[in-house]
Structure 1
Amino acid sequence: MALPGKAPKADTLAHSIEDLIARRHLTPGDHIATKDELRRESGVARATVNEAVRLLQARGRVVLRPGPGGGLFVAPTDPVVRLGQTLLTVHSEPVSVIDAVSVRNALEPVIAEEAARFRGARDIADLRVLIDALSDVVGEPGRFLRVNWRLHERIARISRNHIARTMYLGLVEFIQDQAVDVVSDMSLKEHRQYKKHRLDIHIDLVQAIIAGDPGAAVDAAKRHALQPIGSPAKG
């Protein structure tokens, strides 16, 4: 697994492992790699590999099996997740990304409130890493969008409402697969100003979740949903 540039942080390594699963068309139960293989191929420290594995376990993407023949395996998909995937497998129908964004936006306050109520110490640490990463790429449209999606996925993982969480994650995956970040109608300066505005909203959302303030989290989620209809892919 070739990783470009300097040794990535745990979140970047986790994202690369997810890309590896997709590229190799791995299915639940398939072997991905051992921790030592990941460390050798990526060039990162053992602690970074451990943290990346923990992130993937929290997302429900991998399972870790100890002993000979062990390592990382693609996690099984539970029945509710399969239901969400089935509902979004509608390539024969004229499904609009804007429709998917509208439903996702309707779920945002539910997901945000749950996250504020049930976040734990590990959730808080992950959200801080992701919001810092989002701040670092505010001037880079493609990277901003990818980190943005990972942030929302991580927030959704906190929810204990299994149906809402599953449908939300399914919608985010659908939007990522179908949407294109359209910014051709904006100047570079306007685009940066827009992303800075979006960043501020995400900071408010994450701070409310970390503070355990459901009301403030819901307010931030509602402001997040007020985005230009012509730009459905923007987070």
Structure 2
Amino acid sequence: MFSKPPARAQQLATEIEQSIVERNLASGERIATMDELREQTGYGRSTIGETARLLSERGTVEIRPGRGGGLFVATISPVVRLRRTLLTVTQGQSSVSDAIAVREALEELIALDAARHRSTEDISELRSCVAAMEAHDNDWATFMAANWALHERIAAVTPNDLAKGVYVGTIRCVAELPVHAGADANDDAEQYLASRVAVHTQLVDAIIAGDLDATRAAVEAHRGVTIGAGIPEGMSDNQELAEHALVR
């Protein structure tokens, strides 16, 4: 039913949300037990537990303990309904471009809210996300998964549920596209990924400091990436669009 992706809990949570849409499950219907999810995915208890936590925080599922428990479809709020609508968007080139435009329009709002409202726990987890990006070892799949996780974690700080739902939903419109460097692009990839880590470090440092002016400047630097400038060879048009939407 569910594949076993390298992005672990984040990716599995997205797959479960897509499954809810594809199966047309209504509020209150059972999705699966924890044991069933472990059997279907091959993941351990910690990954399944983290997936359940993510889905619960998103308002997608209700976790019911005990016999007959498991994950159940939560009561649909306007924000959850919006997320499900975004999951039905065809992942073609035009929809990716649309997602980029919406994401960029929300970028400053999301980042400034993070700078205003970040907690001690948020700060610790944002630093961990940046560390994961730094540990990419020139592996595009690892880097993109870490980048995606960082942006979703920044968005998690905002109290604006509607903005958060739209922002995260636009990322997911392109998150499934294959993005990787070509076989002969290792030198370019190393330089390019190092520059992207630096930009995201600047953004996270500004958010952690709670410095709104520095956060605005970091968002501007984040927006300033130009497709084709330093992107390694061997990427298709759709891959470049996905790179633009996620790595930026």
Task: Judge which range, 161-170 or 197-206, deviates more.
Answer: 161-170
Equivalent position of 1:226 in the other structure: 224
1:1-12 to 2 correspondences below 5 Å: 12=8
Equivalent position of 1:65 in the other structure: 64
Equivalent position of 2:160 in the other structure: 161
Q: Is the 8 A contact 1:14 1:56 kept in 2?
A: no
Going from structure 1 to structure 2, the CA distance change for 1:184 and 1:51 (only over 3 Å counts) comes to closer
Q: Is the 8 A contact 2:106 2:163 kept in 1?
A: yes
- Counterpart Cα distance in 2 of 1:182 and 1:41: 25
The one-letter code sitting in structure 2 at the alignment partner of 1:16 is L
Aligned-pair RMSD on alpha carbons? 3.7
Displacement of 1:85: 5.0
TM-score normalized with structure 2 length: 0.72
Q: Is the 8 A contact 1:101 1:175 kept in 2?
A: no
Q: Is residue 42 of structure 1 aligned with residue 43 of structure 2?
A: yes
The one-letter code sitting in structure 1 at the alignment partner of 2:151 is H
Q: Is the 8 A contact 1:138 1:196 kept in 2?
A: no
Displacement of 1:219: 1.8
Equivalent position of 1:193 in the other structure: 191
Going from structure 1 to structure 2, the CA distance change for 1:80 and 1:52 (only over 3 Å counts) comes to closer
Q: Is the 8 A contact 1:138 1:199 kept in 2?
A: no
Gaps spanning 5+ residues in structure 2: where?
229-239
- Counterpart Cα distance in 2 of 1:2 and 1:148: 21
Displacement of 1:194: 0.8
- Counterpart Cα distance in 2 of 1:192 and 1:162: 36
- Counterpart Cα distance in 2 of 1:51 and 1:80: 21
- Counterpart Cα distance in 2 of 1:4 and 1:100: 23
Task: Judge which range, 216-225 or 23-32, deviates more.
Answer: 23-32
- Counterpart Cα distance in 2 of 1:182 and 1:206: 25
Task: Judge which range, 63-72 or 36-45, deviates more.
Answer: 36-45
The one-letter code sitting in structure 2 at the alignment partner of 1:15 is Q
Q: Is the 8 A contact 2:111 2:154 kept in 1?
A: yes
Going from structure 1 to structure 2, the CA distance change for 1:129 and 1:76 (only over 3 Å counts) comes to farther
Displacement of 1:145: 1.4
Equivalent position of 2:139 in the other structure: 140
The one-letter code sitting in structure 2 at the alignment partner of 1:133 is A
The one-letter code sitting in structure 2 at the alignment partner of 1:173 is R
Equivalent position of 1:8 in the other structure: none
Going from structure 1 to structure 2, the CA distance change for 1:97 and 1:4 (only over 3 Å counts) comes to closer
The one-letter code sitting in structure 1 at the alignment partner of 2:147 is N
TM-score normalized with structure 1 length: 0.75
Q: Is the 8 A contact 2:93 2:241 kept in 1?
A: no
Equivalent position of 1:212 in the other structure: 210
Q: Is the 8 A contact 1:111 1:156 kept in 2?
A: yes
Deviations 1:74-94 (A, max 9, x none): 444421342465478565x98
Going from structure 1 to structure 2, the CA distance change for 1:89 and 1:33 (only over 3 Å counts) comes to closer
- Counterpart Cα distance in 2 of 1:134 and 1:88: 26
Displacement of 1:212: 2.4
SS at match of 1:73: strand
Going from structure 1 to structure 2, the CA distance change for 1:96 and 1:202 (only over 3 Å counts) comes to same
Q: Is the 8 A contact 2:136 2:142 kept in 1?
A: yes
1:103-114 to 2 correspondences below 5 Å: 103-114=102-113
The one-letter code sitting in structure 2 at the alignment partner of 1:208 is A
Deviations 1:6-55 (A, max 9, x none): xxxxx83453354355468454543332279749953456xx65455434
- Counterpart Cα distance in 2 of 1:67 and 1:156: 32
- Counterpart Cα distance in 2 of 1:104 and 1:13: 23
Deviations 1:48-72 (A, max 9, x none): 6545543443343432222321223
